[in-house]
Amino acid sequence: MAATPATNTDAPVLILGGGLMGLAIAHALARSGRAVEVLSRRRSEAAGFVAAGMLAPHAEGLSGALLQLGQRSLERIPSWVAQIEADSGLSCGLRPCGIVVPFATAAERDVYPTAPWGEALDRVGLERELPGIGPGWQAGLLFRQDGQIDNRRQLMRALERACVELGVRFQEGVEVLELLQEGDRLTGVRVRSAEAELTTISARRAVLCSGAWSAQLLPQLPVFPVKGQMLSLQGPREALQRVIFGPGTYLVPREDGLLVVGATSEREAGFTEGLTPFGQSQLQAGIAALLPQASQWPPMERWWGFRPCTPDEGPLLGTSNIEGVWLATGHHRNGVLLAAITSELLAAALAESGPSAEQELLLQAFRWNRFTS
């Protein structure tokens, strides 16, 4: 059953960023009855629109607290997606298809960090799961529990519709320039509209989820951009049933035969926009090595984006150094995977009752100042 729109007359919680994380948190807060307003400069630049949509804590080879966070989120995704679909009336494109990680040797396979969660494959097993896989791969791990979601074409649109149905307000084309404070407490934000008008929005609570641009508002945050280039091909329907997570390149097949190919990892590029011949050549080489037949499939799109990265590649979650400002940024390669648990944790952190003991442990593991204290 869909929730009714929020009727809370208190000042809204400001969501600073209209990408996947911002929409997911806005949705969770609105469902809890909070008034919410999303401020977004240009939603199309959000990492949620450019990611491949893998749900892959095991295929990614995560470890430690980040693996735990990813596994918790993976468990929650089916119910999270069902709620978004109920609130929006739209499909999110969830596909529990399983992911295969190929290796050149069985020895490399057996020392992979998440090998205990996977099913070991030899060359015969690889060919059974991935018909046409390149000859350089002799072993693999099948993670049946991992999967994908069509974030670009379905999830983002469904989340936006769900938020609108729940009464979330949107301001698009608004750039947040400054967080305003009295002492250590948030009082509002200074913004510039698409017409270049400068105004102040009063606020006592805000969630900073501005992705790779987060440190522009809070320079203390150790968040920096990692550029990624991607492309898509149109293959035959059913040509590839499972995601292939290769070293440096992954192939994500949608149900209609579209194959999403990613992604370069350009740490020195900063915010330099645009495609590069070198980056596109890297992707083509990855396709040829992983699934040679796909090199003949016609290209559909080419794009790029900026992942928000931190020194340990884990997100920044929870409170900040400003009272009234919460953080949900720095998710690097795992934003789509971690959206469900992030929205749950942030909604709990802003609730009057506060987070549970388990939620508090997760928030503490990803506090913003963990690198210096």
Mean pLDDT of 49-56: 90
Note whether 358 and 275 are same-domain residues.
Answer: no
Mean pLDDT of 41-67: 87
The per-residue b/e assignment along 195-217, b for 16 or more CB within 10 angstroms, e otherwise, is: eeeeeebebebbbbbbbbbbbeb
Answer whether residue 371 is part of any domain.
no
Nearest-CA neighbor of 152 among 210, 65, 93, 213?
A: 93
Answer whether residue 1 is part of any domain.
no
Note whether 68 and 197 are same-domain residues.
Answer: yes
C-alpha Rg value of the chain to the nearest Å? 21
Residue 311's CB is within 10 A of a number of other CB atoms, namely: 11
Mean residue pLDDT of the chain comes to: 94
Nearest-CA neighbor of 291 among 58, 89, 131?
A: 131
Phi, psi of 177 (to 5 degrees): -95, -30
The predicted pLDDT at position 327 comes to: 98
Q: Say whether pLDDT at 1 is over 50.
A: no
The CB-side HSE value for 39 (13 A sphere, CA atoms) comes to 28
Answer whether residue 62 is part of any domain.
yes
The predicted pLDDT at position 48 comes to: 67
Note whether 230 and 286 are same-domain residues.
Answer: yes
The predicted pLDDT at position 49 comes to: 72
Which has the higher per-residue pLDDT, 10 or 78?
78
Work out the percent of the chain whose per-residue pLDDT is above 90. Answer: 93
pLDDT digits (tens, 9 = 90+) for 266-283: 999 999 999 999 999 999
Answer whether residue 317 is part of any domain.
yes
Q: Say whether pLDDT at 371 is over 90.
A: yes
Note whether 288 and 298 are same-domain residues.
Answer: yes
Mean pLDDT of 181-193: 96
Our count of domains for the chain comes to 2
Alpha-carbon distances of 315 from 79, 208, 224, 335, 350, rounded to whole Å: 22, 12, 12, 9, 18
Q: Say whether pLDDT at 141 is over 60.
A: yes
Answer whether residue 4 is part of any domain.
no
Tell me the residue range of the domain where 73 lies.
13-90+152-223+312-365
CATH number of the domain to which 119 belongs: 3.30.9.10
Note whether 77 and 162 are same-domain residues.
Answer: yes
Chain CA centroid to CA 273, Å: 20
pLDDT digits (tens, 9 = 90+) for 214-231: 999 999 999 999 999 999
Distance CA 70, CA 219 (A): 27
Q: Say whether pLDDT at 157 is over 80.
A: yes
Among the candidates 309, 330, 347, a domain finishes at 309
- Quick one: pLDDT band at residue 316, thresholds 50, 70, 90? very high
Note whether 178 and 164 are same-domain residues.
Answer: yes
Answer whether residue 170 is part of any domain.
yes
Mean pLDDT of 325-337: 97
Note whether 304 and 245 are same-domain residues.
Answer: yes
CATH number of the domain to which 360 belongs: 3.50.50.60
Among the candidates 309, 324, 347, a domain finishes at 309
Q: Say whether pLDDT at 46 is over 90.
A: no
Answer whether residue 165 is part of any domain.
yes
- Classify strands 243-245 and 54-55 as parallel, antiparallel or unpaired: unpaired
Note whether 193 and 135 are same-domain residues.
Answer: no
The predicted pLDDT at position 7 comes to: 43
Note whether 158 and 287 are same-domain residues.
Answer: no
Note whether 141 and 156 are same-domain residues.
Answer: no
